Structure 1
């Protein structure tokens, strides 16, 4: 039986997010205003330029601090480092390889620290360790903010240092608001899910369990696959369900079990969208498109062109697969091949969302071999 998940409706959460955002904004003034009065700061073009530059640099440093906080907390929880992204800079450990890449962030993330557990844990052991890992980022930002602001008002009066402290305060606080934007979950929302205050605990736990067993999705335990299926069925309205289905579809197609994948896809893919930009729903939809193509049923799918047309442009791999399939339906091999070349180039040696991209690269080969 499908569980009711009212809090996944963004309209019902907007007022709470607004109140929390205003509270944080108002809370910054008592930190900032005393400095203006105490040191009689002159607000002119030069100082505004300096503060603007300080804000830009502070955001970048705060992002580094945030992701390093996640990484350190994750290691303390017993996790294994996979990769860390800071803007376009990516550091990866993959098997015996170490890669340093310049790659635009996936799904709109400014930064991301990915770690996984090397050994299978019970939910009882997994939840507190995950909470520590997730809390690490915003807590380090807040600790940095407290230290910087105390120094400003005690020993090192500096508008630049105060700006740095406020940016970290803002960064840490916003990340603790339990919300999502275009399907992307804040640290606060993940914590709320794990605490049972918002729906989706099973989806989060399964995501990490699947990554622990095999990040590429070819060697999951049968009971893990079954649990993932049930979670997607029971929480099909949840944003994370789309990403989880994409992983399940990849697994089933690589195991040549397209019928299993399609049965789940009929629940999650091609849903009526509640928001215009929804990259996780895009992933669910393109996963279903892959399934239909492999089953040789793509051209017979009712309304297939309309279903392709609603897939957005936020995630580049998804977008160019969309355009390749559209060209396939148009019997336009040249355009199809060009779009697949773009997908292959974007995936490169390694991708922050698709990792080694074995499944996606296999799909490229199969689409290229298609008869139009």
Structure 2
């Protein structure tokens, strides 16, 4: 059914484009080709921006606060009441993203309803604007840009409503499907993520976070109903490492190093690097069976994870100096702001602890 709908969407877009040029023929020339190419480029960028702004304004109507909004490498971040602009390469392949948070704890049912409206805001903005632009293209404003802008918006809006995974990222449609589900296991990870963002607004010191939230993270990982829950191993690593590596090892061991071949999977990467870091702090990494092979299967999706993997490989090989350099490179790569770590305070503290441990080994 999904393939049929995609075929119908593509066919409809093609039919509208052909129909437009039948009604309003354009003399083909280099100039007209350049105009169409420029219109397509501007239309795509503008459509992505409007999609994210649709999420933003829908979120504001639901009482949410903006954390950051990005289109390609361009990021607007709200930090300590001020807005900051960054140019940072996106991660995980998304072209645009907006992150928002509820300023207070909400009842689960109410939060789900508000999040559904917030998520719908992006694709519905594209669909509404695309429809209006299409009407204008066939009536008052017979200019190719409005047709192209309309078709790009309709494509982006409809495709985002399909409940699928785009690499390691869920489409809006999949998020909505999970939030509407009657099975708590489908939306538990999503709701916990917003609870985590709220806790992070209170303090960046994860060791001071609510014990109930930490217990919830541990339960989600232990149950394992949703592979995306493994991303919370990273948060728990910030809480328990370097002093309590056994707790991380206990949570991560059942799911770590299970990928038989190297592949791009962010959730597996998080699991594997967190487990390997726990082994490092527990002085077990050099004795772990086939550790080199396991580390080499971690993908290069995220530069920070890749550098930490290289640091641990160098440590296993006995090259402590190179290991420390990789860790310093990872800390520097976090910069002022990172798409997956935001300001990265907790990750920087963890990397500093790894550097100290490696230096103690070296001395």
Task: Give the TM-score normalised by structure 2.
Answer: 0.91
2:235 corresponds to: 247
- Give 1:252 deviation, angstroms: 2.8
- Give 1:70 deviation, angstroms: 1.0
Q: Which residues in structure 2 correspond to 1:1-372 (within 5 Å)?
A: 17-196=2-181, 200-214=186-200, 216=204, 217-236=206-225, 238-253=226-241, 256-272=243-259, 276-369=263-356, 370=358, 371-372=361-362
Structure 1 unaligned runs (5+)? 1-15
Aligned-partner Cα distance in 1 for 2:354–2:35 = 53
Q: Structure 1 218/72 Cα, relative in aligned 2: closer, same or farther at 3 Å? A: farther
Q: Structure 1 39/79 Cα, relative in aligned 2: closer, same or farther at 3 Å? A: same
1:299 is paired with a residue whose SS is: helix
Report the RMSD for the aligned CA atoms in angstroms: 2.1
Aligned-partner Cα distance in 1 for 2:248–2:92 = 24
Aligned-partner Cα distance in 2 for 1:219–1:45 = 63
**Number of equivalenced pairs:** 355
2:318 is paired with a residue whose SS is: coil
CA contact (8 A) 2:93 2:167 kept: no
Aligned-partner Cα distance in 2 for 1:298–1:19 = 50
- Give 1:51 deviation, angstroms: 1.3
Task: Give the TM-score normalised by structure 1.
Answer: 0.89
Q: Structure 1 273/337 Cα, relative in aligned 2: closer, same or farther at 3 Å? A: same
Structure 2 unaligned runs (5+)? none
1:118 is paired with a residue whose SS is: coil
CA contact (8 A) 1:327 1:336 kept: yes
Q: Structure 1 131/219 Cα, relative in aligned 2: closer, same or farther at 3 Å? A: farther
Aligned-partner Cα distance in 2 for 1:265–1:43 = 60
The Cα offsets for residues 339-364 of structure 1, whole Å up to 9 and x where unpaired, read as: 22321222112222112212221222
1:3 corresponds to: none
2:19 is paired with a residue whose SS is: helix
